[in-house]
Amino acid sequence: MANSQGLGSQPVLQNFVPYKPKKNEVYMNEKQRQHFKAILLNWREQLMQEVDRTVHHMQDDAANYPDPADRATQEEEFSLELRTRDRERKLIKKIDSTIELIAQNDYGYCDSCGIDIGIRRLEARPTANKCIDCKTLDEIKEKQLGS
């Protein structure tokens, strides 16, 4: 089954065109917000198509194999697909809440320090809610606590 995502649930968007800011352009203006809303809606649509494909695949391929090994293989495959779809369902919720942030003009700013997250970072991770510095600090703290 084709996966619409790359590693780490990064979007692999079809027809993606990077935003080209104009000189002295105000950060997170209407044009930029529309750009990111389009990215998020496209990503959401791709995830929904994956959900539909999974449902059809599981319905079409569901068989009661007499051989226990074949049955176990199919159950494991379905289990893996369902776990993947569950992660994507959570991601769809995050995408929806991010679209809501755009509607409220609260998108593109770090939740921790309030500075601009940056257009390129947001294009790489449209649901990012922290600037790269705060995210890096969080990851360092997480590593230190996890060790």
Domain membership of residue 36 (yes or no) is yes
**Confidence band (pLDDT; 50, 70, 90) for 104?**
very high
Nearest to 130 by CA among 107, 147, 105: 107
Evaluate if residue 7 carries a pLDDT over 70: no
Residue-wise pLDDT tens digits, 10-34: 555 667 889 999 999 999 999 999 9
* Mean pLDDT, residues 79-106: 94
Which of helix, strand or coil describes residue 114?
Answer: coil
Regarding whether 79 and 35 lie in a shared domain, the answer is: yes
Q: Tell me, yes or no, whether 72 and 113 share the same domain.
A: no
Angle formed by the axes of helices 68-103 and 30-61, nearest 10°: 160
Residues 130, 98 share a domain: no
Number of structural domains the chain divides into? 2
Q: How far apart are the first and last CA of the chain?
A: 37
What burial letters (b/e) apply to 103-139, b meaning 16+ CB within 10 Å?
eeeebbbbeeeeeebebebbbebbbbbbbeebbeeee
What domain range includes position 125?
Answer: 108-147
Residues 102, 49, single domain; the answer is yes
Q: Residue 139's pLDDT is what?
A: 96
Please say if the pLDDT value at position 137 is more than 90.
yes
pLDDT band at 135 (very low <50, low <70, confident <90, very high): very high
Question: Same domain, yes or no, for 47 and 91?
Answer: yes
Report CA torsion sign: 17, 22, 25, 31: negative
| In a shared domain, residues 103 and 129 | no
Question: Would you say residue 135 lies in a domain?
Answer: yes
Residue 53 has pLDDT above 80, yes or no: yes
- pLDDT tens across 113-130, in order? 999 999 999 999 999 999
Residue 12 lies in a domain: no
